[in-house]
Amino acid sequence: MENQYDVIVIGSGPGGYVSAIRAAQLGYKTAIVEKYSTLGGTCTNVGCIPAKALLDSSEHYHQAKDQFKTHGINLGDIHLDFSQFILRKSDVVKQNTAGLVYLMKKNKIDVHQGVGSFMDATHLKVTGDNKETILTGQYFVIATGSKPSSIPGVTIDKQRIITSTEGLSLPARPASMVIIGGGVIGVEMASVYARIGTEVTIIEYTDSLIPTMDKELGKALFKTLSKLNIKILLSSKVQAASNTGASATVNFLDPDGKEQAITADYCLVAVGRRAYTDGLNLQAIGITPEKNGKIAVNKQLQTIVPNIYAIGDVIDGPMLAHKAEDEGTFVAEIIHGLKPHIKYDLIPSVVYTWPEVAAAGATEEQLKAQGVVYKVGRFPYMASARARASMDTDGFVKVLVSPQYGEVLGVHIIGPRAADVIAQTVVGMEYEITAADMARLCYAHPTYSEALKDAFLIATGQGAINI
């Protein structure tokens, strides 16, 4: 039958499209269901990809304005064309979504546009523009992702009280912005706007930026963001936010419990995301989301309905695009009878500020809480010849190593190209390469990754050898 499939994937974000492609590669007749007019989900359209485009553009502007003279480059009057700034970001998104359309056609995956709603465990109703289609599937993969969440007292109106989605497409450069939340999204959006001249204030509830990562990384990031004149208020509890017409006012309690207020052009809410399962009609298949809105799965990422799987932001674990991608491949291969595996503790976390922040494995706080004995190897980028050459000397590499067997327990980097450098350490930890062996590898000189070599040398009792 025309609308009968082996595998039907609901949601076309990184988890969904990767799962569909892998299923098709394994020989399954596959369909993907997407409620929006473009493929790619949050990451491609209003998340990872457009954010990185603006982060790169804003860093180029910042360097041209504040650093090029030191390099001997004099550009004269420098100004930002905000419309082009946003337009380039949109062009990058269009290129990526067009690439996904090509991949669907290449792999003979049918795309059905509309909201997917379960009728039973083998039938899905897709409701689009004045059209309903019934799809029959042997297996289903729920990959519907997440939406921005808020906190009590703060209602997102998408006008003055906005999320990162609206923050990626503002009509003009704001003079000021208050960001609620100092996690990954908050510090990235703060970086974008502070670099182009917006007066930015971050209000964070905990006592550290990027609080889920190693505390030393948060402290170092605080220092480097402060150099951009970002005002950072830690241990502060937001009570309310209100749209005052031409601006937004945020009321909060400072660390001493005193009431304070800040008014800015926009209030950007970046307090996390919630699993999105609206419209799926999960009750029709006997699935009830947990209290946090997520779907429970077993180790095979299978729901309580044997032929229905869930991946990505709708299940437990970090809300990361690459985590969803790995799970998408995992499920397709499980369906095929293969035996894939995912080491969740080795999924890297990355913050695309500049310098970048990246980590894999355990934090120092986690090892202390677990009573694990460890050694620390720390090497500053200030001592790196490559970093000095590029004027990127903020940050460090920190490796945590077991003294008994030399096992690498965790790696934490804040520095230039940390997002790329972390990949080497993930390979090492995945295949249980010791810290001594990581130090013995030949690293090209001069490179940012040499800081890893020196950190491992220090952790194993030797001294750093590079400059």
Return the active site residues: 445
Cα–Cα distances (Å) from 6 to 14, 24, 132, 133, in that order, read 20, 10, 20, 17
Rounded to whole angstroms, the Cα distance separating 223 from 50 reads: 26
Of 1, 20, 2, the residue nearest 12 (C-alpha): 20
> What stretch of H or E contains 31?
strand 30-34
**Phi (first) and psi of residue 287, to 5 degrees:** -100, 125
Q: Is the CA virtual torsion 223, 227, 233, 238 positive or negative?
A: negative
Which DSSP state fits 178?
E
* Residue recorded with tokens 């309310």: 240
Contact of 340 with 329, CB cutoff 8 Å: yes
Type and span of the H or E element at 99: helix 82-106
- Burial class of 72 by CB neighbour count within 10 A (0 to 12, 13 to 18, 19+): exposed
Tokens representing residue 32 in the block: 């993907």
The alpha carbon of residue 99 and the mean position of all alpha carbons in its chain are separated, in whole angstroms, by: 21
Q: Which residues in 234-255 are b (16+ Cβ under 10 Å) and which e? A: bebebbebbeeeebbbbbbeee
